[in-house]
Structure 1
């Protein structure tokens, strides 16, 4: 498991396994967000299996799949709502963590300076400087 923190409560990760859920719950994670469409993974790692494992470990689960470049404002808002509604730490995952980092960056636009958002992403291993115009636009609106 490769957790990459973006802030005090949100981390992103490449694909998780159902067996990771108990460890994540023991580490204080309360919410899992899956940003990976079911078509990309085997049935053992599709949303229903991951949700069952997360809920069995006592965590909330949100399925918010994104297939780039089909990112929408609704998807960003769903990510923001899942993060805001969490009672503790959040882990969002996809294939590499990039989509989850993009969604976090856009979800926190206006709540953090764009520079801080982009530094957090870089520190986690995601070079998202090309998102600056979208982050700044969302921060204004």
Structure 2
């Protein structure tokens, strides 16, 4: 398991195993977000199993499957709501951590600079530069909603 903290309250990771969940809890995380659709992974990693193990440890578990290349604003809204409701740091995982980083960037568009939203995940090898226009469009829309 490779925990990659984008902020003090949000970290991403490549796919985890049920046996990783005790270490995630020990690291101080209170909420786990699964951004991986069950159709991509073996049965022992499917949402119901992971959720049961996480909840047995006292972790809050949310499934927010992000289909590669088909991220929706509903994915972004749900992830943002989970962050707002969390009682502590949030740990999100997918195949590589990239989708979790993209969701993070979009949910923070308009609150942080686009350069920061691209630079922070880049420290872990996630290239969000091709999404610059989308991040800026979401930021502009968020700004228009405040007016």
The bucket for the TM-score relative to the shorter chain is over 0.9
- The TM-score, its normalising length taken from structure 1, stands at 0.96
**Long gaps (5+) in structure 2:** 142-147
In structure 1, C-alpha distance between the alignment counterparts of 2:124 and 2:88, rounded to whole Å:
20
Structure 1 residues 22-33: aligned runs within 5 Å = 22-33=22-33
How many pairs align?
A: 141
Q: Do residues 101 (structure 1) and 101 (structure 2) align?
A: yes
In structure 2, C-alpha distance between the alignment counterparts of 1:125 and 1:6, rounded to whole Å:
12
State the secondary structure of the residue aligned to 1:51.
Answer: helix
In structure 1, C-alpha distance between the alignment counterparts of 2:39 and 2:93, rounded to whole Å:
15
Deviations 1:80-108 (A, max 9, x none): 11112111111110111111111111111
**Long gaps (5+) in structure 1:** none
Give the match for residue 120 of structure 1. 120
- The TM-score, its normalising length taken from structure 2, stands at 0.92
In structure 2, C-alpha distance between the alignment counterparts of 1:68 and 1:22, rounded to whole Å:
28
Q: CA deviation at 1:49?
A: 0.8
Give the match for residue 10 of structure 2. 10
CA RMSD in angstroms comes to 0.9
In structure 2, C-alpha distance between the alignment counterparts of 1:112 and 1:53, rounded to whole Å:
34
Give the match for residue 145 of structure 2. none
Higher-Rg structure is 2
Q: CA deviation at 1:76?
A: 0.9
In structure 1, C-alpha distance between the alignment counterparts of 2:58 and 2:75, rounded to whole Å:
24
